[in-house]
Structure 1
Amino acid sequence: MSKKPEAIVFFDLDGTLFNHQIDVLPSSLEAIAKLKKNNIIPVIATGRSPCEVADLMNKTQIDSIIGMNGQAVIYEGEIVFTNNIDKDLITRIYQFSKQQMNIPLSFYNHEMIRVSEHSKPAETFYHHLKQHVPPVDDQVYLKQSIQMLLLLCEEGESGYRDVFPELTFIRNTPYCVDVFNHGGSKGYGITQLLQGKGFTNVPTYAFGDGMNDFEMFQLVDHPIAMANAVDKLKEQAEFITDTNNNDGIAKALHKFGLI
């Protein structure tokens, strides 16, 4: 059984732990190291998959993640939970996207990413993330478990919600919409972690800036919004710290006495 931490701190990435250059500030790296010395566990909580952020996890020495908006939960290298999408449901949404919406998809699990086709929307989105377009395999969901899909589009997701009530659709960037099982969220993934590891009485903190952090903010004991966060998230915050470019992470961790 894992040693019980003094507290757990969840960090969103884009707009939060990442600055505007998609990098981690030196003050944040130093703060994370201090958290670990204090037996406080840092956990990444992101819309991205674990395989996408492997280099970041190595750089920060964070080995726990709530990935794909709560669809895959890994604690200190151990897979605690995955929320797989039914294969028949993926077949339906893929055919609907291809035949009626002309929107390409990405397929995600905690180990890999594939795209349905190498398209202009895929190039635009992955360039935005400073990543290469993943390999093409539009049949990957028949061979592997899939925990999240992306609609690679700048608009059009409203046409899906009534057709696929089993799924949740959240626009995560101007160029994509995250798709996963209805009820899934960062908050849901955190619940799976706390219950699965017996940490339900451990104090929890979370940093975020966007609407995919909303359920996480409702769940943790101490929600902390970045100054650059959207207004609706700030309304849910216990504290609003400085921006992701101006040492907001370290400043709030100091304020709460965690480092």
Structure 2
Amino acid sequence: MNEKPEAIVFFDLDGTLFNSQIDILPSSIEAIKKLKQNNITPMIATGRTPCEVINLMKRTQIDSIVGMNGQVVLYKGEKVFTNDIDKEVIARIYQYSKQKMNIPLSFYNDELMRVSAHSQPAEKFYHYLKQPVPPVDDQIYLKEPIQMLLLLCEEGELHYRDVFPELTFIRNTPYCVDVFNHGGSKGYGIAQLLQTKGFSDVPTYAFGDGMNDFEMFLTVDHPIAMGNAVDTLKGKAEYITDTNNNDGIAKALQKFGLI
């Protein structure tokens, strides 16, 4: 059984723990070290899948993650929760995307990423992330559990919401839309973690900047918005710190007495 931490701090990545150059500030690296020294668990809470951020987790020594907007939760190497999408639903959205919308997909679980086709939208999106385009396998969902899909498009997602009410669609970058089971969110994943591990009495903090952090802000005890956050999220924050380019993480952790 894991020892209870003094607190848990959840960090969104893009626009939060990452600066504008998709890198982590030295002040944030140092702050994470201090959190761990104080028996406070740092966790990544991101739309990305765990296999995308392995190098980041090694670099920061963070071993816990709420991935794919809460569709998988790993705590100190233990898989605590997954929220798999039904294979029949995936087959329907794939056919709809291919035949009606001409929008390629990505298929994600906590261990792998695949694309339905090597396309220009895929190249544009993964170049934006500074990642190679994943391997092509449009049948991967028949062989492996899938917890999140991406619509690789710059527009067109509004057509999906009426056709697939069992799914949630959130635009996370200019080039893709995250797709997962309706009701899933970073907040839902965090709630599953706290319940499963018996951490309901552990103080929780979260840093974020975008709308996929909204439910997370409603779930934790202390929501902290970055200075560069969207206004709607700032409206739900207990505290607004400096920007992701100006030591906002370290400054807020110091303010709350966590480091």
Q: Do both share a fold (TM > 0.5)?
A: yes
Q: Distance in 2 between matches of 1:125 and 1:196?
A: 35
| Alpha-carbon offset, residue 186 of structure 1 | 0.1
| Alpha-carbon offset, residue 107 of structure 1 | 0.0
The aligned residue for residue 35 of structure 2 is 35
Q: TM-score, normalised to structure 1's length?
A: 1.00
Q: Distance in 1 between matches of 2:253 and 2:23?
A: 19
| Alpha-carbon offset, residue 40 of structure 1 | 0.2
What is the one-letter code of the residue matched to 1:247? D
SS of 1:215's equivalent in the other structure is helix
| Alpha-carbon offset, residue 168 of structure 1 | 0.2
- How many residue pairs get aligned? The number is 259
Sequence identity percentage: 81
Q: Where in structure 1 are there 5+ consecutive unaligned residues?
A: none
SS of 1:252's equivalent in the other structure is helix
Alignment map for 1:146-161 (pairs within 5 Å): 146-161=146-161
SS of 1:51's equivalent in the other structure is helix
SS of 2:70's equivalent in the other structure is coil
**2:114 is the alignment partner of 1:105:** no
What is the one-letter code of the residue matched to 2:224? I
Q: Distance in 1 between matches of 2:163 and 2:19?
A: 37
The aligned residue for residue 220 of structure 1 is 220
Deviations 1:90-126 (A, max 9, x none): 0000000000000000000000000000000000000
Q: Where in structure 2 are there 5+ consecutive unaligned residues?
A: none
SS of 1:162's equivalent in the other structure is helix
The aligned residue for residue 183 of structure 1 is 183
Q: TM-score, normalised to structure 2's length?
A: 1.00
**2:238 is the alignment partner of 1:238:** yes
The aligned residue for residue 132 of structure 1 is 132
Q: Distance in 2 between matches of 1:19 and 1:159?
A: 33
Alignment map for 1:18-57 (pairs within 5 Å): 18-57=18-57
The aligned residue for residue 82 of structure 1 is 82
Q: CA RMSD in A?
A: 0.3
Deviations 1:191-227 (A, max 9, x none): 0100010000000000000000000000100000000
**2:173 is the alignment partner of 1:193:** no
Q: Distance in 1 between matches of 2:16 and 2:158?
A: 27
The aligned residue for residue 174 of structure 2 is 174
The aligned residue for residue 65 of structure 1 is 65
Q: Distance in 2 between matches of 1:193 and 1:25?
A: 28
